Amino acid sequence: MHRLTTTDISRSALFAALIAGGAFVAIPLGPVPFTLQVFAVLLAGMLLGPRLGALSVVAYLVVGLVAPVYAGGASGLGALLGPTGGYLIAFIPAVVITGIVSARGEPSSRRFILAGILGLLPIYAIGATWLALQLGLSARAALTAGVVPFVAFDGVKALLAAAVARSLVSLPLGLPATQRDR
């Protein structure tokens, strides 16, 4: 197992901060707000890989227990376990899936797009299920409130994350695909 380096921790912290920054762009669309967190989570998976990407999301979630970094400036266990908490928790499998898919083979736009789209699936599945349980919604109502309004926006976020990732892996930033998340 690979030990964490100072660079690994710094990169993970940077993406935790990007996820937190994405939470401050919060536009209410019913019980679930539109944010830029999904973009940052997908990008973390694409650039950091599953292990460091997961570290960045977990760091973000832990910070949110004590600091107002969740959507709309929310924080604490109540926010994490509230109606939209499933979306937050789902960022962990989302970043892992995105990281695994994007790290296989040579980096390409197609691979990053596929990784981003597959990374959205746990966010929708876990988030909508949690939303239904918390608010007593039917599956149809949870999908209508917590998935349908976001599909097009999240598709754009996945495409943008793929474009940014594809651009950055070709630059000498210390993120070559052969060394991501050893």
Whether 179 maps to a domain, the answer reads: no
In a domain, 125, yes or no: yes
Q: Is 147 among the domain residues? A: yes
Domain that holds residue 48: 6-169
- Residue 73's DSSP bridge partners are none
Query: Domain for residue 174, yes or no?
Result: no
Q: Has residue 181 been placed in a domain? A: no
CA distance 90 to 70: 14
Report, as an integer, the average pLDDT of 152-159.
Answer: 97
Whether 180 is covered by a domain: the verdict is no
- How many domains does the structure of the chain reveal? 1
Rg (CA), the chain: 16
d(CA 108, CA 103): 10
**pLDDT confidence tier of residue 172, bands split at 50, 70 and 90:** low
Q: What tokens were used for 172?
A: 């000498």
Q: Rounded to the nearest 10 degrees, how much is the dihedral formed by the CA atoms of 93, 95, 99, 102?
A: 110
Answer yes or no: is 175 within a domain: no
Task: Judge whether 53 lies within some domain.
Answer: yes
CATH number of the domain to which 104 belongs:
1.10.1760.20
Residue 122 neighbours by CB distance under 10 Å: 21
**70: helix, coil or strand?**
strand
Report DSSP letters for 91-105, one per residue. Answer: HHHHHHHHHHHHHSS
- 129 confidence band (pLDDT: 50, 70, 90): very high
Q: How far lies 12's CA from each of 5, 23, 54, 116, 180, in Å?
A: 11, 17, 8, 18, 12
As a whole-number percent, the residues of the chain with pLDDT over 70 amount to 93
* pLDDT over threshold 80, residue 180: no
